[in-house]
Amino acid sequence: MNNHHPELFRRHASNPILTVADWPYPANSVFNPGAVLLPDGTTLLLCRVEDRRGLSHLSAARSANGVDGWQIDPRPTLQGDPENHPEELWGIEDPRITWVPELEKYAVVYTAYTRDGPGVSLAFTRDFREFERFGIVMSPEDKDAALLPHRIGGEWAMIHRPVSAARAHMWISYSPDLRHWGNHKLMLEARKGAWWDANKIGLSPPPLETPQGWLVIYHGVRHTAAGVIYRLGLALFDLLAPERCLRRGEEWIFGPEEPYEVRGDVDNVVFPCGYTIAPDGDTMNLYYGAADTSIARATGSVAAMLQWLEEHGTASQP
Ligand code: BMA
């Protein structure tokens, strides 16, 4: 129990489940993994690996049970390619993975980091060995993006987080061909003042389609005298018009508490980029970066999250 608040996520007893000590080649830190359950039941994490220059690339780790026995690619799986993609000059980060049935491919949406700041890039893969790059789809400064798994009203939809002024909100944009994006809509705003999500918000893992709506786990950032705190909140969006927020939780549901979340290269950060859903259709295994240093797992119930939003969420303004 956490001060009598309902606990929606339970940390795994062997957290952190992956650290740089597990890596088959030298690196500084591993964190913020995208996640998928492959058809054979293998959990694949596409991990952000930061090298000692400070630049990040992505590497795949596969496990039969999603907790241990990880087989980690002996070399970087997907790296910045600044010759062909200048927007990847300073590396690639924070992948969000979506299985797209229409294309029979996984979409990997990641942050491409260059002189003008972070932007959003898109690639497709079937096997996490070969990737087809679409290049940058959202120009800097933008990040925290994921593709929705199917078209809505005939158009593809991508959630992302452009930065314009002091605060930074979640937006959704639409595309007929995955290359040209428009029809931009504000989706969820950072709150103001004292709120836990006052300063910046962004999508964390890809949204989950449920009969009640798109369930979104987002991160909220609060600036304090001691630095920033990254915590997670919940919101629910209309299935047919995902820019329309149906419910938004007021309180954060998961935040840095354990030593590996509180201390690291960046203190006080929990940052999930993916989850797997167990065959029961309800159990969510959330994979998150802890303090920009290691990878941890926490488990929750989708039904419990929806119920919590029903009880503790408020209808957001249109
Ligand atoms: C944000 C994210 C993450 C990182 C976090 C804390 O900007 O994009 O890459 O985990 O900062 O440093």
Task: Specify the ligand 1 atom closest to the Cα of 289.
Answer: 10
The ligand 1 atom at the shortest distance from the C-alpha of residue 31 is: 10
Q: Are 136 and 111 in contact (CB under 8 A)?
A: no
Residue 114, pLDDT > 80, answer yes
Which of 29, 30, 31, 32 to mutate for ligand 1's pocket (most ligand atoms within 8 Å of CB)? 32
Q: Residue 318 above 50 pLDDT?
A: no
> Phi and psi (nearest 5°) for 95?
-75, 140
CB 81, CB 20: distance < 8 Å: no
Measured from the CA of 230, which atom of ligand 1 is nearest? 6
Rounded to an integer, the average pLDDT of 143-158 is 98
Give, for ligand 1, the residue of 111, 197, 260, 269 to mutate: max count of ligand atoms closer than 8 Å to Cβ.
269
Half-sphere exposure of 90 (CA within 13 A, CB side): 9
Cα 133 from Cα 109, distance rounded (Å): 10
Task: Find out whether the peptide bond into 189 is cis, omega within 30 degrees of 0.
Answer: no
Q: pLDDT tens digits, residue range 224-265? A: 999 999 999 999 999 999 999 999 999 999 999 999 999 999
Ligand 1: centre distance to CA 32 (Å): 8
The two three-digit tokens of residue 83, written as one number: 């010759």
Residue 130 pLDDT > 70, yes or no? yes
Instruction: Answer yes or no: are the C-beta atoms of 310 and 247 closer than 8 Å.
Output: yes
Q: Which of 245, 172, 241 is CA-nearest to residue 215? A: 245
- How many Cα atoms sit within 13 Å of 263 on the Cβ side? 1
| 304 three-state secondary structure | helix
Closest C-alpha among 64, 66, 19 to residue 284 = 66
pLDDT, the chain, mean:
96
Predicted local confidence at residue 316, as pLDDT: 66
pLDDT tens column, 98-108: 999 999 999 99
